[in-house]
Amino acid sequence: MLYLLGVVVIALGILISVSLHEAGHMLTAKRFGMKVTRYFVGFGPTVFSFRRGETEYGLKAIPLGGFCKIVGMTPQDDDVEPADQHRAMWRFPVWKRTIVMSAGSITHFALALIAIWLAAIFMGLPNPEYPTTNDEARREPAAINVQDCVVVENVARACQPGDPVSPAAQADLRDGDLITALNGTPIGTYGDLLTTLRSTPPGRVTVDYVRDGVPARADVTLAQVQRAPLENLAGPVGPVAAFGVDLDVQKPAMVTYGPVEAFGATGHYTGQLAVGTYEAMKRIPQKVPALWTAITGGERDKDTPISVVGASRLGGEALEAGVWQILVFLFISLNFFVGIFNLLPLLPLDGGHIAIAWFERVRSWIFTRIGRPDPGRVDYLKLMPLTYAVILVGGAFTLLTVTADVVNPITLFSR
């Protein structure tokens, strides 16, 4: 039941976000005097609609988005009545059209920023000082958390009956103990501990550590497990020694803030999100083969893109596991990604319309300066082949991600 609820929450959050995106277009267009004839949530057959003034509002049967119709978006549109010619969108100044077309993405950014600020106050944001990568973790002091068991196979999962007891637990080591040497080899960081363990065969070793400022020594019998090389986690799996510990970071993973402090934390987290989104978008083309591999029976790379289906499934899994905070971060990430993606200078995205509007403006300015006639507006009909190509590629990519999310979904927790 919780899984289904999580799926519904994420799907509904996406639908509301897209509906507000279209409302951003509509409200700014109306504010500037453009004519908006339709605003609908969903696609397909109309469930119901009503008219207020010159605009028809309604709900359609397929809840996968929404749209609003602004009269005369391009000079080639034939939906402009003679009495409305002066209200056609393409006749308005370029800065007004830019605001209208970017209002959708601005709405997504606003939703993400508000959610981040609220999360900073009531839920907490990731601690900037907390190690979030393997490299950062390995630079931390070798303070340990003692696990209950060691998992022999090379998978990430919780302990199960039959798993060997953690060697560290058997040796009465405790959470927070700082490892300083292993079989006489000095240990300065958690990375040193991992590297030394990998070069040590399973069996009996001596471990020097500090507890509450007092040095001590323990005899530990290292277990044998199957792991990939540290420098290549996708490499061949082989037998190595295991201590049964992980990193004990002496910093909270999440930090909450006061309402004023939350503004600074929101800015910092947004900057990280922007960089992460940019890097993720750059990797999309190279992840297409990995998606195909996942569909055809291979392992699903956790770094591959996901669709609305995949995001909803992750939301369900998170809520089922009691980690509801993940739903909030999914909502934030999705809104931020859609906001940026929608501004790409490609038709039929809003960014494509903005790019053309400014191209027209700059071109007119240049022609005026060199004493040549204004070449006028761009002919959108000549751009239709490129537009169709973008739609085709986007549709194929969406189908690929949806299929992968159905047949081989990314999961938060190993089952």
Q: Which of 22, 56, 136, 320 is catalytic?
A: 22
- What the block records as the tokens of 215 is 């040095």
Those residues with Cβ within 8 angstroms of residue 173's Cβ, 6 or more apart along the chain or in another chain: 144, 146, 207, 209, 218, 220, 245
Query: What type of residue is 196?
Result: T
Residue 108 to residues 46, 105, 236, Cα–Cα distance (Å): 26, 5, 43
Residue 93 to residues 346, 354, 358, 372, 401, Cα–Cα distance (Å): 21, 12, 10, 21, 39
The DSSP annotation for 52-91 comes to ETTEEEEEEEEEEEEEEEETTSSTT-----GGGGGG-GGG
Those residues with Cβ within 8 angstroms of residue 184's Cβ, 6 or more apart along the chain or in another chain: 206
Q: Is 320 marked active-site?
A: no
Residue 379's nearest CA partner among 362, 358, 356 is: 356
Those residues with Cβ within 8 angstroms of residue 105's Cβ, 6 or more apart along the chain or in another chain: 21, 338, 339, 340, 342, 343, 350, 351
Q: How many angstroms separate the CA atoms of 197 and 223, rounded?
A: 11
- What the block records as the tokens of 320 is 């089922």
Contact in structure between 40 and 57 (CB atoms under 8 Å): yes
Q: How many angstroms separate the CA atoms of 303 and 403, rounded?
A: 16
Q: How many angstroms separate the CA atoms of 54 and 38, rounded?
A: 8
Q: How many angstroms separate the CA atoms of 69 and 1, rounded?
A: 38
Q: How many angstroms separate the CA atoms of 173 and 159, rounded?
A: 18
Residues annotated as catalytic are 22
